[in-house]
Amino acid sequence: MTDSIPITPTRAFRTTLRPPGSKSLTNRALLLAALADGESALDHPLNADDTRCMIAALDALGFQPRAHDGGANITITGAGGTIPVRSAQLNLGNAGTAMRPLAAACGLGHGVYELDGVARMRQRPIGELVDPLRELGANVQYISKPGYPPIRVCGGQFTGSALRMQPTQSSQFISALLMIGPCLLDGLTIEFDGPVTSRPYVEMTCALMQQFGAEVSVDDAFTRIVVAPGGYRAIEYDVEPDASSASYFLAAAAVVSNGGASKCTIDGLGFRSLQGDVWFADRVLQPMGASVLYEPDSVTVMSPPVGERLSGIDIDMNEMPDMALTLAAVAVLADGPTVIRNVGNLRVKETDRLAALQTELTKLGADVRIDHDNLHITPPPGGNITPAAIDTYDDHRIAMSFTIVGLATYGVTINNPRCVDKTYPTFFDDIAQLVGTAAQDD
């Protein structure tokens, strides 16, 4: 792929597709399988940079994951809540869903493990995970800058079983702690003083842990989670399509109405999904004016009638922070301003996503303002998008989100499109297929 790719606007389209497996579920399931007793099999796992980082790390830790049928299935034999090797150096790239859970899991071993990543990973805070790990008795050391990777974990030190936590910058810190809970001698109880950041991701973690046989109970107010000791059991698990990846095609269906109404159905992803982002269509696109239909294992979005645009929205996106980028791209095409609230944790993702959104949306002619943890977007007058080359900051979600704008209007080019390899290597192939299908239908 070239250093940049122009996005071809499409006429109205109708398509049904199944995006690759969920990154969040794949990496969680890989780790839980490694901690379980017996051999687990994962069907339809994501094959992308972030999951390859996790697989390589688990291999270095002695679990020997094995891919079958070109990666369509992965088997892994768990070690019953411990780490097979006594030393390892893990390079986790920029994969937060690998760095954070493995930082906790390495404490279950009986050796010394060093975890590092790319330059951006060394800028992503990890202190809010290290501190509670130390409170549980773990020996975790900063190798360079306090509060940030790289870190050294000396295993075999866990003694505690209870934590009281303030709101964290990332839900991944909480998920990392929960996933080792069944492997601790007395289990784990976490009480929360304040709201849980990106709560649906924590709920996803709890639900997946239960599928692997863990006993997890959560109070109605989501202020206390109790994980019983007893470990995990091996299972066969079919990974859902990635709801975040699906959002780009659903959003495109909501905004593209040139020549008729667009319609997109995502197979394998419906109201039975474990992923909180599956509700993006219901809670964001539908209030803006799109038509939405949920089935047990599918979701469909259709654009408003020809000649009508989506309306701007004022919405708290703390529970779906990754979807804030998809919404931002839709907002620049909407009629009226949009306010995306309570997304301060976007600053510590693959890039500072708040700053990146402000810069790139402004290129397109929008008026964009950051107010504390809120993003205010006013579309260009008359909906007239200014042609622009979008810088992606090596952030897959910037690239995929701004592609939505290019599908609806002329002049959008995506720089460094290869950054989508992090979670969706075939994204632009699927976009080209969508455009080609629409052209044939015309």
Closest CA to 147 of 163, 162, 134, 159: 134
Instruction: Cite the DSSP H helix spans in 262-313.
Output: 280, 286-288
Closest residue by Cα to residue 290 from 319, 322, 333: 333
Residue 367: how many CB atoms within 10 A of its CB? Answer: 13
Q: Which of 49, 116, 242, 322 is catalytic?
A: 322
Residue 166 CB neighbour total at 10 angstroms: 8
Beta pairing class for 298-302 and 314-316: unpaired
Give the total residue count for the chain. 442
Contact 362, 386 (CB under 8 A): no
> Closest Cα to residue 349, out of 26, 125, 98?
125
Q: Is 50 a catalytic residue?
A: no
Cα distance from N-terminal residue to C-terminal residue, the chain:
28
Distance set, CA 319 to CA 202, 235, 276, 323, 375 (Å): 10, 29, 8, 9, 15
Neighbour tally for 417: CB within 10 Å? 23
Give the catalytic positions in this structure. Answer: 322
